[in-house]
Amino acid sequence: MISDITLGQYFPGNSPVHRLDPRFKIILTILFMVALFSARNIFVYAAMTLFTVLLILASRISLRVVLRGIRPLLFILLFTVILHVLMSTRTDGRLLIEWKWLTVYDMDFYRAGVMVLRIVLLVLGTSVLLSYTTTPISLTDAIEALLKPLSAIRVPVHEFAMMMTIALRFIPTMLEETEKIMNAQKARGADLSSGNPFKRIRAMIPVLIPLIVSAFQRALDLATAMECRCYRGSKGRTKLVKLTARPADAAALFLFAAVLAGVYLGNYYIPIGIRIG
Amino acid sequence: MSHFIETRNLTFEYGGENGERPIRALSDVSLTIDEGEYIAILGHNGSGKSTLAKLLNLILIPTAGEIEIDGKTVTPEGLSDDEVFDVRRKIGMVFQNPDNQLVATVVEEDVAFGPENLGVPREEIRERIDAALATVGMTEYARHAPHKLSGGQKQRVAIAGIIAMMPKCIVFDESTAMLDPRGRREVTDTMEKLNRENGMTILHITHYMEEAARADRVIVISDGRILMDGTPREVFSRVEPLLACGLEAPQGTELLYELSLCGLPLPTGRITVEECADALEKLLSGKQGKTRDV
């Protein structure tokens, strides 16, 4: 099935989130990000966390699977915490450690925590809204539709979308090819998996060169095949897929706009709690 | 009477830049193809058979001579973009590597690619996809990702993509070369079906004799010239010239040929496995009969 396309791992389903129009989903994602980064106090953050959890529940993707998506970020999160705690120049709160130029205040921990929460919510929210619940192909269609106005100022929107589609189409093919070449090189005694990282990167060169050469050959073949199928850009072209918005999409848009408004009101009217940033 | 495709002294050379001597891929090829024919074009590597295919679809423009395709004459001056577009919608082409001709990430969207380019209205695209996928027997895979399919299945999707454009003729440029025996059979069966049931003109460029034997007419190209042109029976009966230009006859035919060289009274013009087996059986039983007589 379409879900087999490996990029950004799509989880097939028929939840309310899955059924949203991809164009709306992109807009919703932007609203979500703005709301998240506009939040200025702890209660608003708590509300955003709750909202994200509700979003995950609405997508009917298991919480465990979604949380697994954070694992690759652990290093970045750790790094964020260290930077915020050690390198902060702010001097508020209680002084915990003072050693030469190094000062650590309790507020530094607080700010680091908020930063981590922000990143985690960002990743969870966007992946549930987009990559987990939207097929790459409908995402491409949506981007093409949303950028359409730009074609008035000669931005090659259709060509851009076509390139994305082709890239998506060839990812699995190229992965397969990489594996084949790696096996071929291993069969000739190439050592691809030992030694220090530099050595390993060097060992990849005999894999990458044939891969790139074959990619060019494929590109040439594909271009010929496309021409033979009468492709000439967006000129006179019709489309099979038509994106249609439903009332649910408008409702979702309204909900997200309300959340964004709520964040601003919260920032303004809840003076208690500690302000961040 | 005018033919569907007619080439007159068609010549194509490539290279020749920077003062190099150009290499002649096709020289003085004159042939006619009528609508509804099922033709196999045979030739060893570098014989010019793929060049001929590319000229038919205007990927290449003749160096000299001309081709007339459905009333439109292509000369070395080439055609305007709109005229090229018109020719290409009449002659579809299926290539060798099934991976490198599929554009979309979903089978039915790939089949839609051609009709979309032609500007076919949405509802009609839908109908064309369904009909095309049914013709190649891939209906149940409409929502699958192409990379998950077998080689033969991918090639059938590619064929569906061409059928959906409703061309008069499909050129198969070694479309079976990269497939396993099963995939090859799937694809040749599809070709035959398109020709017999839909009346489509089929040009099958190949170097598999058994596949060529299924066509109504076989054209052998060697060194850029037409060496033989006739029914499979006529062409494959002439084993010597076939061997001389680096091709072979179907295995059975070649066996009969070798045996007849040894002095056994065997007929020529037997091309299918059954026919060859019958001929051998006849010979053997005849012999047995004779020995019993003696």
Q: What is the SS3 string spanning B213-234?
A: CCCCEEEEEECCEEEEEECHHH
Phi, psi of A132 (to 5 degrees): -75, -25
Predicted TM-score (pTM) of this structure = 0.79
Taking CA–CA distances from A214, the nearest residue in chain B reads: B100
Which of B94, B117, B130, B171 to mutate to probe the A interface, most A CBs <10 Å?
A: B117
Inter-chain CB proximity B147 and A242 less than 8 Å: no
Residue B31 Rama label (left phi>0; alpha psi -120 to 50; beta): beta
Query: Measured between CB atoms, does A246 come within 8 Å of chain B?
Result: no
Q: From edge to edge, which strands make up the β-sheet containing B72-74?
A: B23-33, B5-14, B64-69, B72-74
Distance of alpha carbon A267 from alpha carbon B71, whole angstroms: 74
Predicted local confidence at residue A272, as pLDDT: 59
Inter-chain CB proximity B105 and A169 less than 8 Å: yes
What is the DSSP code (8-state) at residue A275? B
Predicted local confidence at residue A214, as pLDDT: 93
Q: If you count residue pairs, one on A and one on B, with CB atoms under 8 Å apart, how many are there?
A: 108
pLDDT averaged over chain B? Answer: 87
Inter-chain CB proximity B114 and A230 less than 8 Å: yes
Structure tokens at A25: 């989903």
Beta pairing class for B72-74 and B64-69: antiparallel
Asked whether residue B282 is assigned to any structural domain, the reply reads yes
Domain ranges, residue B277: 250-294
Contact partners, residue B209, CB within 8 Å, separation at least 6:
B42, B236, B247, B248, B249, B250, B251
Q: Over 70: is that where the pLDDT of A175 sits?
A: yes
| Amino acid occupying residue A51 | F
Q: Which residues of A touch B160 (CB under 8 A)?
A: none
Inter-chain CB proximity A228 and B93 less than 8 Å: yes
Query: Measured between CB atoms, does B173 come within 8 Å of chain A?
Result: no
Q: Identify which of B272, B229, B261, B225 has the alpha carbon closest to the alpha carbon of residue B245.
A: B225
Structure tokens at A204: 């990849």
Predicted local confidence at residue A271, as pLDDT: 67
Delimit the domains of chain A by residue range: 2-145+243-269
Q: What is the number of domains present in chain B? A: 1
Asked whether residue B264 is assigned to any structural domain, the reply reads yes
How does pLDDT run across B136-182, given as a tens digit for each residue? 999 999 988 888 899 999 999 999 999 999 999 999 999 998 888 88
Inter-chain CB proximity A1 and B118 less than 8 Å: no
Predicted local confidence at residue B201, as pLDDT: 94
Distance of alpha carbon B66 from alpha carbon B74, whole angstroms: 6
Distance of alpha carbon A146 from alpha carbon A154, whole angstroms: 15
Asked whether residue B179 is assigned to any structural domain, the reply reads no
Query: What are the angstrom distances between the C-alpha of B52 and each of A220, A270, B8, B46?
Result: 19, 78, 12, 11
Asked whether residue B293 is assigned to any structural domain, the reply reads yes
Asked whether residue B256 is assigned to any structural domain, the reply reads yes
- Identify the weakest region by mean pLDDT among A166-170, A216-220, B138-142, B267-271: B267-271
Predicted local confidence at residue A273, as pLDDT: 55
How does pLDDT run across B62-102, given as a tens digit for each residue? 999 999 999 888 888 888 888 899 999 999 999 999 899 99
Q: What is the mean pLDDT of residues A149-167?
A: 89
Q: Over 70: is that where the pLDDT of B292 sits?
A: no
Which of B59, B122, B145 shows the shortest C-beta gap to A4? B145
What does the CA dihedral A28, A31, A36, A38 come to, rounded to 10 degrees? -170
Taking CA–CA distances from A172, the nearest residue in chain B reads: B147
Q: Which residues of B touch A229 (CB under 8 A)?
A: 88, 92, 103, 113-114, 117, 161-162, 165
Predicted local confidence at residue A4, as pLDDT: 38
| Min distance A209 CA to chain B CA atoms (Å) | 19
pLDDT more than 90, % of chain A: 35
Q: How far is CA A276 from the centre of its chain?
A: 25
Distance of alpha carbon A206 from alpha carbon A226, whole angstroms: 31
Structure tokens at B27: 């020289």
Distance of alpha carbon B256 from alpha carbon B264, whole angstroms: 9
Distance of alpha carbon B193 from alpha carbon A161, whole angstroms: 36
| Min distance A244 CA to chain B CA atoms (Å) | 14
ipTM value, please give it. Answer: 0.85
Which of A2, A232, A236 shows the shortest C-beta gap to B106? A2
Using the CB atoms, write b or e for A171-185: b if 16+ within 10 Å: bbbeeebbeebbeeb
Beta pairing class for B201-206 and B72-74: unpaired
| Min distance A189 CA to chain B CA atoms (Å) | 28
Q: Which residues of A touch B89 (CB under 8 A)?
A: 230
Q: In A57-167, at which residue ranges do the beta strands (DSSP E only) sit?
A: 95-99, 102-105
Q: From edge to edge, which strands make up the β-sheet containing B169-173?
A: B91-94, B169-173, B201-206, B38-42, B217-222, B225-230
Q: Which residues of B touch A168 (CB under 8 A)?
A: 105
Asked whether residue B18 is assigned to any structural domain, the reply reads no
CB B159 within 8 A of CB B80: no
Distance of alpha carbon A255 from alpha carbon A54, whole angstroms: 12
